């Protein structure tokens, strides 16, 4: 039986209202065997379904309700985690009451958690480069339906700026939206390649929405194999979860 201890998780350090709760899992505390060792929460990566179920059940013991597990497709659809969702295909979710627990799974992509000052709405977004460029943060804030300057964000573990090498297509996609995005790229190891800072790209998008209070960041999934899953590093690997909810 899997039992997740406090040391197996990271609690976001941000000045969120008291009723806003958030949790970041690591790869420790579960029952999955290598290469998914050990707290793999992804049911789509080739792991033993019984192990994934045990890991999810252990996580659920720390939560007020079962999370809305999304089928993530690098898009911009946002769902309400507090409502029944027959089709969970989406890359972000929000919650306005204690019935919903928002959850994002990642293994290099950037998870972004959001809450407002009043503690009346929370959100979580899967901001890989495709979703980020496509507007998943913008769509999440629209769904939250509160002014951007009343929101704060927390950035979870993601591929670091010294590990994320991309092609011209990625750089061009961001610069086409905002020329200032050029500052998030520097020359890579070959012509047409660039090192990308996905945290800076997210901060630029958030700032454009009026969200300037951004916390977290600096946790590179690729460089810390003991703590984080990384698809780019290992290819066959598990998934962490970034979760946020409201609790009375």
| pLDDT at res. 236 | 97
* Domain range summary for the chain, segments of one domain joined by +: 19-150+220-246
Q: How confident is the model at residue 6 (pLDDT cuts 50, 70, 90)?
A: confident
CATH class of 19-150+220-246: alpha beta
The two three-digit tokens of residue 98, written as one number? 């204690």
pLDDT (mean) for 237-242: 98
Rounded (10°) angle between helices 198-208 and 136-144? 40
Containing H/E element for 133? helix 129-134
Q: Give Cβ neighbours of residue 88 (< 8 Å, ≥ 6 apart).
A: 68, 69, 70, 71, 79
pLDDT (mean) for 42-60: 97
Q: 3-class SS at 209?
A: coil
Contact criterion met (CB below 8 Å) for 177 and 202: no
**pLDDT > 90? residue 149:** yes
| pLDDT at res. 2 | 67
**Mind listing the pLDDT tens digit for each residue in 79-98?**
999 999 999 999 999 999 99
Contact criterion met (CB below 8 Å) for 92 and 140: yes
């Amino acid at each position: 039986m899997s039992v997740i201890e406090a040391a197996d998780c990271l609690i976001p350090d941000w000045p969120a209202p008291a009723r806003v709760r958030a949790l970041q899992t690591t790869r420790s505390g579960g029952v999955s065997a290598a290469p998914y060792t050990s707290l793999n929460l992804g049911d789509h990566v080739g792991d033993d379904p019984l192990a994934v179920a045990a890991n999810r059940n252990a996580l659920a013991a720390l939560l007020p309700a079962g999370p809305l597990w999304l089928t993530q497709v690098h898009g911009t659809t946002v769902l309400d985690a507090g409502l029944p969702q027959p089709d969970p295909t989406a890359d972000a979710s929000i919650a306005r009451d204690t019935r919903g627990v928002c959850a994002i799974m990642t293994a290099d992509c950037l998870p972004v958690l959001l809450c407002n000052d009043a503690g009346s709405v929370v959100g979580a977004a899967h901001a890989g480069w495709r979703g980020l460029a496509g507007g998943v943060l913008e769509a999440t804030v629209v769904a939250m339906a509160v002014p951007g300057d009343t929101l704060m964000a927390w950035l979870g573990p993601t591929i670091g700026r010294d590990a994320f090498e991309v092609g011209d297509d990625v750089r061009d996609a961001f610069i086409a939206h905002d020329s200032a995005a050029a500052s998030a790229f520097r020359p890579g190891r070959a012509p047409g390649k660039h090192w990308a800072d996905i945290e800076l790209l997210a901060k630029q998008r958030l700032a454009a929405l009026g969200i300037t209070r951004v916390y977290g960041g600096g946790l590179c999934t690729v460089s810390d194999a003991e703590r984080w899953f990384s698809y780019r590093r290992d290819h066959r690997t598990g998934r962490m979860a970034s979760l946020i909810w409201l609790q009375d």
